[in-house]
Amino acid sequence: MAYIKSTANSIVAIQTLLVDACQEQGWIWDSVQNQLSKNTMQLQLNILADNLRIRAKHKNEGNYSAYVRTGYVNGKTNIVFPAEVHLFIFSQEVYLVIEYDVSHFQFLSFGISTLNSDYLWLGGTFPEASSQNNISVSMRASIGSNTAVSALFWAMGAQWGGGTSFIYDGSEWQWKGGQMPGFKVLEPILKIQPSAWNAESALIPIRGYKNHLENKIVLYVDLEHARHIRIDNYEPGAIVMLGSEKWKILPWFYKNIEDRDGVTALSTGTFGWAIRYDGP
């Protein structure tokens, strides 16, 4: 893997850092199409109104996913520059995290499933629609239509303010459908974190499922290098050791210990994620 930390003074600089880092790890950059390619994945990047956007498609298919993005949302979550950029580049998975304004974070991530190279995925802080001016991650059964849920494979669809995660199953992208399958498995585990005994939180797999016929769900993505974690007792950027492995702890957007379940707009409570890390 490669971990890169840098400072960027513009959204264009962030895109350049991402493209350069991916090329160093075997991705091919097409400057005409603004496209990164590796194995079965083709990822298109562009900048629109201070938003860095990505969408993806399978190399043998014509249909792209919708865009996910970071950047500007009605002035309420605009990235403040200079910003710190964290890049975690693995063979099949890429994570871009932007840290700004002391304690705010946005991300873009994408990759090829380790379960099958024809399965693709991507996610980001915001959906393509420009009207989502609040952000929240919550255990609630429903969230306002102007709220984006920016946690990977957590929720998607119009009811949740537009998709922020997408999965390609070898034939089509999942476009919408409210809570993503698998959430009900994840929910009770996250609710009992952190441990009342030692105040630590478990690293919980980040998995992406899709609905199928006869009320069945199928696992398409099982991230190798990222995990869910409740961050009540961790500062953003903290490093946790698990055996010989190091994991970097980050909020999905903004940690708010007073609003653990991320009910308040522009807060993701104590929901966060950990990314495998080989930095200092």
* pLDDT attached to residue 22: 97
pLDDT digit string (tens) for 63-93? 899 899 998 766 667 899 999 999 999 999 9
Structure tokens at 242: 């698990």
* pLDDT attached to residue 200: 92
**Angle at alpha carbon of residue 188, lines to 264 and 169, rounded to 5°:** 90
Residue 247 has pLDDT above 90, yes or no: yes
Of 18-27, 93-102, 119-128, least confident by mean pLDDT is 119-128
Q: In what order do the strands lie in the sheet with 245-251?
A: 204-212, 216-230, 271-277, 245-251, 239-242
138 confidence band (pLDDT: 50, 70, 90): low
Provide the whole-model pTM: 0.93
212 confidence band (pLDDT: 50, 70, 90): confident
Distance, in Å, from the CA atom of 151 to the CA atom of 161, rounded to the nearest integer, reads: 13
Residue 160 has pLDDT above 80, yes or no: no
- Residues 203-221 have a mean pLDDT of 86
* pLDDT attached to residue 154: 80
* pLDDT attached to residue 124: 92
Q: How many helices (H) and strands (E) does the chain have?
A: 2, 21
Distance, in Å, from the CA atom of 108 to the CA atom of 96, rounded to the nearest integer, reads: 5
Of 139-148, 208-217, 240-249, least confident by mean pLDDT is 139-148
Structure tokens at 239: 């490093």
* pLDDT attached to residue 158: 40
Q: Determine how β-strand 83-89 pairs with β-strand 68-70.
A: unpaired
